[in-house]
Structures are given as structure tokens and as C-alpha cells.
Amino acid sequence: MVSASEATPRRGESAVHLEGVVKTFGDVRAVDGLDLTLEQAQVLALLGPNGAGKTTTVEMCEGFSSPDAGSVRVLGLDPVADSAALRPRIGVMLQGGGAYPGSRTGEMLDLVASYSADPHDPEWLLRSLGLQDARRTPYRRLSGGQQQRLSLACALVGRPELVFLDEPTAGLDAQARLLVWELIDALRRDGVSVLLTTHLMDEAEELADELVIIDHGRIVASGTPSEVTRTGADGRMSLVAPPGLDLAPLRAALPDEFQVQEASPGDYVVRGTIDPHVVAAAASWCAGQGALATEIRVDQRRLEDVFLELTGRDLRG
């Protein structure tokens, strides 16, 4: 049994921390020595192709299975051994919905709210997610998008400290998708931690503080969205400035592997791993020659390009 003091997360304690986690099914190693950390009040997007180990990882965090090796801590607790203490503090959104087919929308949300000591107002959540007109509609008669929004409402109604969201905008139209994005952003501002799985790269870039891409149970990339799209990539920065500027000072200010050229009069191109220091060096170079750069543009790879490069383009079952 976990005491109340043990159940309260310490200041600075991670919302989720996995260290050396291994999970096997027969001859298949679904998770292979995984280290992962989600800090409090942040959104972490866990990405990977089908069969990469995402679902297995999240199920261990939710307490539905135990690792074969390594440790899993969620809000400072063991999600299996301390399940009774942890369960009221987390929210789980399942892609499949998980509602009783014959239950009405409002009834289902009221039932889930009744399990919490201090739930959100179900009516407020129904309004916030555009479900107020479907309050008396049986679950099986809801559209796919409405079922998704009800699943999200059920995950949030208990005021969780940590939410697991599995493909939260699957099947939603543009308006509903934006609404869910705004709600996730509001959760973060309110101090709620979010572990998000999604196949939508633009969604991950828009919402996540940190990205983790896994493949064959191992991390192949991690960091902020800008760090992940920049890592290992030769970027391209374009500057528009007066023609004929001396390139020697800029070349001297950048590492040897960078390429600098005036592609056409007044159109300067810098190739290399572009970071804020490189942009600052280019601006200083212009200023040092008394020239005004009227445009500085950085071209980087999209997250989708990085994802496909790291995990391959073959469709998996």
C-alpha cells in the first residue's frame, strides 16, 4: 500500500520515467532497452511505425502489463504494484473508444465522472467538445468523430495529472481537430502532463514539447521538434542582401564544412547544419559590411521526412 505522502509527486519529479525497459512476446522483443522521460506539464509525442513498440510501451506506463526488465515509474509510482494509488490520478483515452455500445453519451460521461472524487462538470466537457446535442444519443449511433471526442472527455473528466492520448484526432474533421489541439494546449498550461501517440506528423510538431521516435523497440531520435528535424540534416539558409558582399568574413565565422555562395546577385546561400548561432553569424556578417539583409529564410526538413528516413518507407502490418 502506498501512503499519501508517497503518492504525491515530488517537485521536479518526472511524470513518466522509463529506464532500460525490455518487453518480449515469445521471440519478439517489442521494447528493447527503452529510456524515456516525460517531464511534468509537458506534452511528449511518441512516434513510430506500426509494430515499433509504441502501444506496448504505453500499456506498461498505464499498468496493463509489466516490463520483463528495467523500471517504469509514473508520477513516482510503479504503475502495476501501485495501481490503486495511481489510477485516480491518470486519464486514458483509447482509440477504440471503450464505451458501452448501448449507453447514451451523457450517461457514459456521468458514469466515468462518478468514479472521481473531484470531477470536472460533465456538462462543461460536453459543451467544450461539441457533444451537448448528442447527450442522449446512444454511443453506437455516434459518428466516429463523436466517439473520439467522448473518449477524450472520459479521459479528462476526472481531473487527471497525467493523460495518455492514443490518436486523439483520428477521424475528426478540421474544426474538431483544432478544438482538440486547443484543449491539449490548455491541459499543458494547467500543469497536466500528456503522453501522446499519433501518426500525424503535423500534429506532433504542433503539440509536442518533446518528440521520441522509436523503431523495433528502440529510440532512433528524440528531442524538441526543431532538434529532431535539424539533427543530421544539411540545412539551407537563404539571405537577400545587396549584391557583391565579401563572403570571406562569413566563411571564417562558420565551421569548415559549411558552404557559402552568392547564387545570384544579392541572393546568398549557406549550407550546413543551421542553428541560431549560424543565423546570428549571418546577420552580424551583413551588419559588419553596413548591409541590410531584407530576408533570411531557413529551409529544414519536415518531421515526416525525418521519420521516413529513420524508420523506412515500407508499410508494416
* Mean pLDDT along residues 40-69: 96
**The pLDDT value given to residue 8:** 47
Range scoring the smallest mean pLDDT among 128-132, 146-150, 301-305: 301-305
Q: Is the same domain home to 153 and 169?
A: yes
CATH code of the domain covering residue 166: 3.40.50.300
* 151 is a domain residue: yes
Q: Which three cell numbers stand for residue 253?
A: 565565422
Q: Is the same domain home to 62 and 110?
A: yes
Greater model confidence, 275 or 94: 275
* 2 is a domain residue: no
With cut-offs at 50, 70 and 90, classify the pLDDT of residue 100: confident
201: left (phi over 0), alpha (psi -120 to 50) or beta: alpha
Looking at the structure of the chain, the number of domains it has is 2
Q: Is the same domain home to 113 and 262?
A: no
* 315 is a domain residue: no
Percent above pLDDT 90 for the chain: 79
Q: Is the same domain home to 32 and 46?
A: yes
CATH code of the domain covering residue 271: 3.30.70.1560
pLDDT tens readout for residues 266-316: 999 999 888 889 999 999 999 999 999 999 988 767 898 889 888 986 655
Instruction: Report CA-CA distances (Å) from 317 to 59, 97, 121, 269.
Output: 19, 22, 41, 43
Q: Is the same domain home to 123 and 248?
A: no
**The pLDDT value given to residue 4:** 37
Q: Which amino acid, 246?
A: D
* 133 is a domain residue: yes
**The pLDDT value given to residue 261:** 94
**Which range of residues forms the domain containing residue 62?**
10-228
* 207 is a domain residue: yes
**The pLDDT value given to residue 313:** 62
Q: Is the same domain home to 207 and 269?
A: no
pLDDT tens readout for residues 181-222: 999 999 999 999 999 999 999 999 999 999 999 999 999 999
pLDDT above 50: residue 1: no
Range scoring the smallest mean pLDDT among 28-42, 84-98, 189-203: 84-98
Q: Which amino acid, 9?
A: P
* 311 is a domain residue: no
* Mean pLDDT along residues 233-242: 84
Q: Is the same domain home to 261 and 127?
A: no
**The pLDDT value given to residue 40:** 96
Single out the residue in 182, 212, 228 at which a domain terminates: 228
Q: Is the same domain home to 177 and 245?
A: no
Q: Which of 135-144, 225-234, 271-280 has the highest mean pLDDT?
A: 135-144
pLDDT above 60: residue 237: yes
d(CA 263, CA 261): 6
Instruction: Report CA-CA distances (Å) from 30 to 48, 161, 251, 309, 313.
Output: 12, 28, 47, 21, 20
Q: Is the pTM of this model over 0.85?
A: no
Q: Is the same domain home to 240 and 201?
A: no
Number of C-beta neighbours around residue 250 at 10 A: 22
**The pLDDT value given to residue 234:** 62
pLDDT above 80: residue 230: no
Q: Is the same domain home to 185 and 54?
A: yes
d(CA 289, CA 249): 10
Query: Residue-wise over 182-221: b if at least 16 C-beta within 10 A, else e?
Result: ebbeebeeeebbbbbbbebbebbbebbbbbbbbbbbbbbb
Q: Is the same domain home to 153 and 214?
A: yes
Question: Largest alpha-carbon pair distance within the chain?
Answer: 74
Average of per-residue pLDDT values in the chain? 90
pLDDT above 70: residue 35: yes
Single out the residue in 228, 250, 279 at which a domain terminates: 228
**The pLDDT value given to residue 317:** 53
* 145 is a domain residue: yes
Single out the residue in 204, 228, 252 at which a domain terminates: 228
Residue among 57, 30, 63, 32 nearest 44 (CA): 57
Displacement of CA 259 from its chain's centroid (Å): 34
DSSP letters for 271-298: EE---HHHHHHHHHHHHHTT---SEEEE
* Mean pLDDT along residues 84-98: 85
Q: Cβ(114)–Cβ(144) under 8 Å? A: no
Greater model confidence, 95 or 262: 262
Q: Is the same domain home to 33 and 61?
A: yes
With cut-offs at 50, 70 and 90, classify the pLDDT of residue 3: very low
* 119 is a domain residue: yes
Q: Classify residue 167 by its DSSP letter.
A: S
Number of C-beta neighbours around residue 133 at 10 A: 11
